[in-house]
Each structure stands twice: as C-alpha cells, then as structure tokens.
Amino acid sequence: MINIGVIGYGYWGPNVARNFQETAGARVVAIGDSDDGALKRASQRHPDSRMVKNYREVLKAPDIDAVAIVTPVSTHFEMAMEALDNGKHIFIEKPFTASSPQAQALIELADRRGLKIMVDHTFLFTGAVQKMKELIGEGVLGDLYYFDSIRVNLGLIQKDVNVVWDLAPHDLSIMDHLIAKDPVAVMATGVAHFHNDLEDVAYITVYFPDNVIAHLNVNWLSPVKIRTTLIGGQKKMLVWNDLVSDEKIRVYDKGVEGLEGVQQESLEAAHGRRVSYRSGDMWAPKVNQVEALKGEAAYFVDCLEKNLTPENDGRAGLRVVRMLEAIVHSLKQGGALVRI
C-alpha cells in the first residue's frame, strides 16, 4: 500500500486526491493546504485522511511514501527538494519547475536517493494521445512532416506568467511524447497587450531533426475555444479535435509522397513535379474515454511498486521546462532562433 500525501487542494488538487484515493494499492493519508475552506472541503470528501495546515507536516510525515505537489510552479522547487530530502517520491504538477537548473537539481537528488519523480503531464494519459502515440509508433502515419497545434480561448490574463507558461506546457509535453526526438531550435513571436513582458498571444515554432517542424498557437484573447492539432505524415495525416465528444481523432488516407526512386527527368516533363498524391477514406478510431488522471495515478503507483521509471519522469519535465525557457528567450530577443 502506497501512502500518499497531497499538498494543495485548490482547483486541480481535489482531482488528484480523488484519483489517488480510488487507485488500488494507494490511499491518501494526508491533505495539506494553508486555506481553511480548502481543508474543510477536503475533509468532507476524504473523512479518513488527516487535514494539515502546514504543508511541511506532509513532507516530513513518517507514514507517507509519496507526495503529490499540486501548487503553483513558483513553490515546486522548494517543496520538492524537501520532499526528496525526506525520502518521499513525488508526483508534481506541470510545469515541473520554474527553471531548468531547478529541474536538474531535483532529478539529481531523486537519482541519488533512489526516488521517483512523475510530472503530471495529464494529457499523455488521455485516450486521444495514447491512440496517436500508438498510430505513430506502429508507423501508420509514416515519417512525420509536421505537428501543428492550436490552443486558444478567452483566458484569464495572469500577472505573473505569460500565455506560453500557462498554455504551452500541454502541447509541449504532448509534442515531446509523440515526436520523441530532441528539438534543435525554437523561435517564438508574440505580443503583450495588457502587462509588460507577459505575452497574451504567442506563436511558437520548434525545429526537429529530419525536417520535422512543430508549431504552437497559444492565445488568451480568442473569442472561441479551439483545441485542434494537425499531424502530417508521409503515409497518413490526422486531425485531433479535443473539444468534440466523439471522433476526437480523424485519420486521413491523404498525403503527398516524394518519388525519390523514380527517374526525375521524365516525371518533370510529364507532370512538372516530383510528388504523388493520395486521397482515400477517413477513419476515426475508437478512443478510450477513461479519465486520464485515473490512469496516471495507477501508473504512478505501478512505477513505485515495480521500481519502473515513468515516461513522464523528471527528465520529461525538464525537457518541457527547457523548451519553455527557450521560447521565452526567443520572445525576449524579438523572435531570435534559440538553439536547444
């Protein structure tokens, strides 16, 4: 039985606590939050857990094996360091840390102490992302051409982070998971309409090896909510619309292929180009609709029990933080190309 302490019972914490409580092999023994109202709500839903006002008591409690840190990113490093120091595994909200040196320090400490870090890249546990991973992994799409994501809505303009740190971690973690290559460089443009230096609209390009390009469009000022990703491959292409309840993923038997082995001269004479086109059926595979966090909680418990390294470990969290840093660096330099 893995005993879990949850720190932070605001917007997302209740979901984390509930899912760990409902996971076989785990129980939530303590919930920490400095807000009395939050603790009162938590106690109603978790009558058997201790309610703790000072999060330090959770970090140090001898009966706790792992701590779920569900607090603002600015607090992550300090809490996580203390948790690891006290021999606790950690499950931590995304983005992992406020800077890459912080992430590296945590990874090193965890490695030294033989502890696990899982960064809550929840989307990786949705049926949609798992299906896309499967399609790419099995070669259904062929070599990837591009990954193009739009995540826009009328969002809360925040005063401490820009739209990139707020929205892009989702897309960056999904992109990192699906493309599974190390990015080469990043470029970003954007504008801040309300707070100096905090962009509310941003456009991000990420270059990968083998001519793979990724693009992220994040915007807090859109009148409509859009959550759409296009992924183009040599063999097939897909559209993921996360806002529809059915048929979230549509796979198109459409594409363009270079005709590399073909005698070039004759083709150009004939058609003026060296590519061929396909246009066939569309197919919407059934997508698992289980709550993503439920699967992620079970996976965390499984990794602890079997001593496995999670896919969404500290290193995955670090990769996302590094891209966030590079994006902000590019924005601050007027859109300069930033190598990673």
Judged by CB under 8 A, the chain residues 220 through 249 that form the site for a copy of itself are 220-225, 230, 232, 236-239, 243, 245-247
**Looking at beta carbons only, is 200 or 296 nearer to a copy of itself?**
200
Interface of this chain with a copy of itself, residues 162 to 201, rule: CB under 8 A: 187, 189-195, 200-201
Interface of this chain with a copy of itself, residues 37 to 96, rule: CB under 8 A: 44-45, 47
Report, in Å, the least distance between residue 161 CB and a copy of itself. Answer: 12
**Looking at beta carbons only, is 92 or 187 nearer to a copy of itself?**
187
Which long-range contacts does 275-280 make (Cβ < 8 Å, 24+ apart)? Answer: 278/253, 278/254, 279/253, 279/254, 280/252, 280/253, 280/254
Report, in Å, the least distance between residue 293 CB and a copy of itself. Answer: 20
Cα distance between residue 286 and residue 272, in whole Å: 40
Residue 95, preceding bond cis, omega within 30 degrees?
yes
CB under 8 A: which stretch of 51-59, 99-107, 117-125, 254-262 binds a copy of itself? 254-262
Print the binding letters for residues 267-296 with a copy of itself: x by CB under 8 A, - otherwise: -x---xxxx-x-xxxxxxxx----------
**Looking at beta carbons only, is 45 or 315 nearer to a copy of itself?**
45
* Nearest C-alpha neighbor of 211 from the set 145, 140, 137: 145
Which helix or strand (DSSP H or E) is residue 308 part of?
none
* Nearest C-alpha neighbor of 304 from the set 49, 27, 95, 1: 1
Which helix or strand (DSSP H or E) is residue 162 part of?
none
Report, in Å, the least distance between residue 8 CB and a copy of itself. Answer: 17
**Looking at beta carbons only, is 203 or 302 nearer to a copy of itself?**
203
**Looking at beta carbons only, is 39 or 192 nearer to a copy of itself?**
192
Interface of this chain with a copy of itself, residues 100 to 159, rule: CB under 8 A: 145-146, 148, 150, 152, 154, 156-159
Q: What angle do CA 14, 9, 163 make, to 5 degrees?
A: 90
Print the binding letters for residues 3-42 with a copy of itself: x by CB under 8 A, - otherwise: ----------------------------------------
What is the signed CA dihedral for 153, 147, 103, 157, rounded to 10 degrees? Answer: -10
Pairing verdict, β 237-241 and 221-233: antiparallel
**Looking at beta carbons only, is 56 or 286 nearer to a copy of itself?**
286
User: What is the total count of residues that contact a copy of itself (CB under 8 A)?
Assistant: 73
334 binds a copy of itself (CB under 8 A): yes
Cα distance between residue 189 and residue 71, in whole Å: 29
Cα distance between residue 125 and residue 127, in whole Å: 6
Report, in Å, the least distance between residue 38 CB and a copy of itself. Answer: 17
Report, in Å, the least distance between residue 249 CB and a copy of itself. Answer: 10
Cα distance between residue 247 and residue 265, in whole Å: 43
**Looking at beta carbons only, is 54 or 333 nearer to a copy of itself?**
333
Report, in Å, the least distance between residue 247 CB and a copy of itself. Answer: 5
CB 259 within 8 A of CB 276: yes
The end-to-end CA distance of the chain, in Å, is 41
> Pick from 205, 227, 242, 329: which binds a copy of itself (CB under 8 A)?
205
Report, in Å, the least distance between residue 284 CB and a copy of itself. Answer: 4
**Looking at beta carbons only, is 155 or 315 nearer to a copy of itself?**
155
Burial label, 281 (beta-carbon count in 10 A; 0-12, 13-18, 19+): exposed
* Nearest C-alpha neighbor of 338 from the set 164, 129, 200: 164
**Looking at beta carbons only, is 115 or 186 nearer to a copy of itself?**
186
Which pair of tokens denotes residue 198? Answer: 């905090």
339 binds a copy of itself (CB under 8 A): no
